[in-house]
Homo-oligomer: A and B are copies of this chain.
């Protein structure tokens, strides 16, 4: 969670665009809007989850497990779903297992692999958090009409399409 707190003013961007022809003020403004908004949301979420003794990352593991068949997954699968390394998952599962929210079990078919399963206690914690979580989330989005919510998701989809060809691209 690291981003600027305030967006630069449009005039500032337009002034800089006169020197740097590669700068498109509307693009920069929209781009930074995504980062600033997400950072602010994440700050709030971190505070919210802390009330339940969870970090955002630990919550993520629980909710991902909840959606898996038998509420079970391997660390490798979790790492893939959450876009973190396996080493990170190992640490997160360590903490969650210590609190009894998940269980580890060695798989019989391939004993290199491990099963991570959501426990009853873990599920109960999720059931306690989720209604509140979704209600808050809904409140955040409440200034947008149903149509605007769909527009927003569509526009962000186009941004992700653009990611394929830039920032990390050749050069």
Residues of A within 8 A of B (CB): 2-6, 8, 12, 20, 22-24, 26-31, 33-45, 47-48, 56-57, 60, 64, 67, 80-84, 130-132, 134-144, 146, 148-153, 155-163, 165-169, 171
Contacts and interface: CB of A to CB of B under 8 A. Distances in A.
A22 B131 contact: yes
Contacts of A33: 152-153, 156-157
B139 A169 contact: yes
Contacts of A131: 20, 22
B40 A39 contact: no
B159 A30 contact: no
Contacts of A22: 130-132, 134-135, 138
Determine chain A's interface SS by DSSP, over half rule. Answer: helix
B161 A143 contact: yes
A167 B34 contact: no
A156 to B, nearest CB: 4
Contacts of A149: 26-27, 29-30
A27 to B, nearest CB: 4
12 contacts: A2-B56, A3-B83, A5-B81, A6-B81, A8-B67, A22-B130, A35-B38, A47-B167, A139-B167, A140-B159, A141-B162, A144-B155
Contacts of A84: 2
Contacts of A156: 30, 33-34, 36-37, 152
Contacts of A141: 24, 27, 30-31, 159, 162
Contacts of A146: 26
